[in-house]
A and B are shown apart, each in its own frame.
Chain A
Amino acid sequence: AQSVTQLDSHVSVSEGTPVLLRCNYSSSYSPSLFWYVQHPNKGLQLLLKYTSAATLVKGINGFEAEFKKSETSFHLTKPSAHMSDAAEYFCVVKYSGAGSYQLTFGKGTKLSVIP
């Protein structure tokens, strides 16, 4: 079965320090990978996406993610955390296939930023 694993349910960092949110997915030919962010009681906003172009993907608000096929990982990073980054982050995979319309969501990582 297709799956996405976010390795940490909660990550806490100090403001100004690096952020690392980890995501592994089950292997498949040509997956599309996404990171979304959700602030409390809000919808999901797309941070970045990998769709078989460059393996290092730059997104909004200074976030990046690197697609590593050999490790089946797509970890999200940011060099310096800001208070406004505190939110829940979802790693999402879309597997290719005829008529494949479904996304597979990780269970989310809640990021806390300490002043």
Chain B
Amino acid sequence: DGGITQSPKYLFRKEGQNVTLSCEQNLNHDAMYWYRQDPGQGLRLIYYSQIVNDFQKGDIAEGYSVSREKKESFPLTVTSAQKNPTAFYLCASSIGSGNYGYTFGSGTRLTVV
């Protein structure tokens, strides 16, 4: 079955470390997205990518970086510059610009220890 795979499901990071969250899709979708979810705040867009080797900042890109070297993969790095990284991170993908909806992964919960 086609879908989006996020790994790991749970991730613990020490302060000052960079960590990378994986997102892989086999839906042949062109666009991919990273969202951050905090309780009571809905979802906020971090980065998105319309095509390979291209990506744009979302509303809260500071302290994060991404790459899109392959259509199937869109990893997110949470850098030490992100002051409050503890959150639930969701990856999504869409056909074109998403007029018919996005498909979401099952998420990665990142905790700073």
Bind each other? yes
Q: Please report the number of residue pairs spanning A and B whose Cβ atoms sit closer than 8 angstroms.
A: 63
- Tell me if A102 and B109 are in contact (CB < 8 A): no
Interface string of A38-60 (1 = CB under 8 A from B): 00011111100101000000000
Does A28 have its Cβ within 8 Å of any Cβ on chain B?
no
- Tell me if B40 and A9 are in contact (CB < 8 A): yes
Given that A49-B100, A94-B98, A94-B99 are contacting pairs, would A43 and B42 also be in contact in the complex, using a CB cutoff of 8 Å? Answer: no
- Tell me if B104 and A45 are in contact (CB < 8 A): yes
- The bracket for how many chain A residues form the interface is 20 to 34
Given that A41-B107, A42-B106, A49-B101 are contacting pairs, would A107 and B48 also be in contact in the complex, using a CB cutoff of 8 Å? Answer: no
- Tell me if B104 and A44 are in contact (CB < 8 A): yes
**Which of A32, A36, A46, A107 has a CB less than 8 Å from the CB of B99?**
A32
Does B85 have its Cβ within 8 Å of any Cβ on chain A?
no
In the assembled complex, the Cα of A9 lies from the Cα of B109 at a distance in Å of 23
Select from chain B the residue with minimum beta-carbon distance to A101. B97
Tell me which residues across on chain A come within 8 A of B45, comparing CB atoms: 102-103
Does A25 have its Cβ within 8 Å of any Cβ on chain B?
no
Minimal beta-carbon separation of B38 from chain A (angstroms): 10
- Tell me if A102 and B48 are in contact (CB < 8 A): yes
Tell me which residues across on chain B come within 8 A of A90, comparing CB atoms: 42-43
Interface string of B45-58 (1 = CB under 8 A from A): 10010100000101
Does A99 have its Cβ within 8 Å of any Cβ on chain B?
yes
Given that A49-B101, A90-B42, A107-B41 are contacting pairs, would A102 and B107 also be in contact in the complex, using a CB cutoff of 8 Å? Answer: no
Does A74 have its Cβ within 8 Å of any Cβ on chain B?
no
Tell me which residues across on chain A come within 8 A of B103, comparing CB atoms: 46
Select from chain A the residue with minimum beta-carbon distance to B97. A101
A41-B88, A46-B103 given. 12 additional CB < 8 A pairs? A32-B100, A43-B4, A45-B104, A51-B99, A94-B98, A96-B99, A101-B48, A101-B94, A102-B48, A103-B43, A103-B98, A107-B42
* A residues apposed to B, CB below 8 Å: 9, 32, 34, 36, 41-46, 49, 51, 90, 94, 96, 99-103, 105-108
